[in-house]
Amino acid sequence: MKNTANSIMKNTANSIELLAKRKNQFEIALQQTGITADKFIRMAITTIRQNNELLNCTPESVLGSLFECAQIGLFPDTNLAYVYFIPYKNKCTLRISYKGWRTLAYRSGKYESIYANYVCENDDFKITNGSNPRDRKFFHSWGLKDRVEIIGYYAEAHYKNSDNYEFELLNLHDILRHKAKAQTDKIWKEFPEAMGKKCAIKKLCQRLNLEMEHNALSEAIIADGRVIEADADGNITINEQVDEFNNEEQTEQHEKELDDLLSEQDNNDAICDEAKDFFNNKEDK
């Protein structure tokens, strides 16, 4: 226990030391964001100290994730929740949240509104798709009655000075596939709705990025989930993308997890149907 505590304290000190040594690099990365390096580093140090799991990660991977965060121009503040720093084995990975993707897309200046939400079984939801943006319409509303279970998520972007929309729709099976690919389900358990929204808006942003020149959004698409390490001398090492399946065994494992999740969802649906039938029959009597 004492060795573990000493190791954590050492990693914390090393991470903070690396941040201080790389201040000049952070100033360069933050030039277009309006964020000062001093403010960014103060927030980074607070984030490191508040996240106990992050203290077990190598200082180089923590620094690498923070540097990626600076390059795309998002605050590393847990209260703002633009990004999450997620341990993967003993490495830190940068994860961009629903709010982070939304903020980056807004910065393009092309969109009046960018939004994501979930759809429930009793909602009034209609969608019309087409190759021409003018033909793409959707409608979503709900009242005070029980909305029942979530059946899908969507994200939409409304162009400025136009009635045109871009949107992305994911059903529950699409969401479960994303969840099954995750290396850890901790965030999915704590924030299931926010993670569903993130999946929808990230997929939408990947398509919106095709319309733009190289920018922070394209940087974010590359950075999200990547393991990158940086040392005090500025040497960068890019490792694997955490979400990618690197071998057949890992693919089979995640496919099994997906089957289990889908089976669990089917069982829950069956239980709900039985309960509805029971209460309906009771009311008839």
- Write out pLDDT tens, residues 44-86: 888 888 888 888 888 888 888 898 898 888 989 888 889 988 8
Q: How many CB atoms lie within 10 A of CB 31?
A: 10
Q: What is the pLDDT of residue 25?
A: 85
Q: How far apart are CA 248 and CA 254, in angstroms?
A: 10
Dist CA 254 CA 179 (whole Å): 10
The token duo for 284 is 């008839």
- Region 2-19: what's the mean pLDDT? 60
pLDDT tens column, 224-246: 877 767 665 555 565 655 553 33
What pLDDT was estimated at residue 91?
86
Residues in CB range of 153: below 8 A, 6 or more apart: 116, 117, 118, 119, 169, 170, 175, 196, 197, 199, 200
**pLDDT score, position 197:** 93
Distance CA 118, CA 197 (A): 7
Residue in the structure block whose two tokens are 């508040």: 50
DSSP class of 52: T
Per-residue model confidence as pLDDT tens digits over 98-129: 899 998 888 878 888 898 999 999 999 988 87
Q: What is the pLDDT of residue 154?
A: 93
Distance CA 140, CA 90 (A): 43
Cα(14)–Cα(50) distance, integer angstroms:
16
Q: How many CB atoms lie within 10 A of CB 280?
A: 9
Which of 113, 76, 109 lies closest to 94 in space, CA to CA?
A: 76
Query: Are 156 and 166 contacting, i.e. CB atoms less than 8 angstroms apart?
Result: yes
d(CA 214, CA 216) in angstroms, rounded, equals 7
132 vs 110: which has the higher pLDDT: 110
Select the more confidently predicted residue: 147 or 14.
Answer: 147
Q: What value, to the nearest 5°, has the Cα angle with vertex 105 and ends 102 and 201?
A: 50
Please name the residues in contact with 76: beta carbons below 8 A apart, sequence gap of 6 or more.
40, 43, 44, 47, 66, 69, 83, 85
Over the range 126-142, which residues count as b (16 or more CB within 10 Å of their CB) and which as e? eeeeeeeeeebeeeeee
Selection from 121, 222, 224, 202 nearest residue 154 by Cα: 202
pLDDT greater at residue 201 or residue 184: 201
What pLDDT is attached to residue 4? Answer: 47
- DSSP state at residue 93: E
Which pTM value belongs to this model?
A: 0.72
State the average pLDDT over residues 128-138.
73
Contact 125, 119 (CB under 8 A): yes
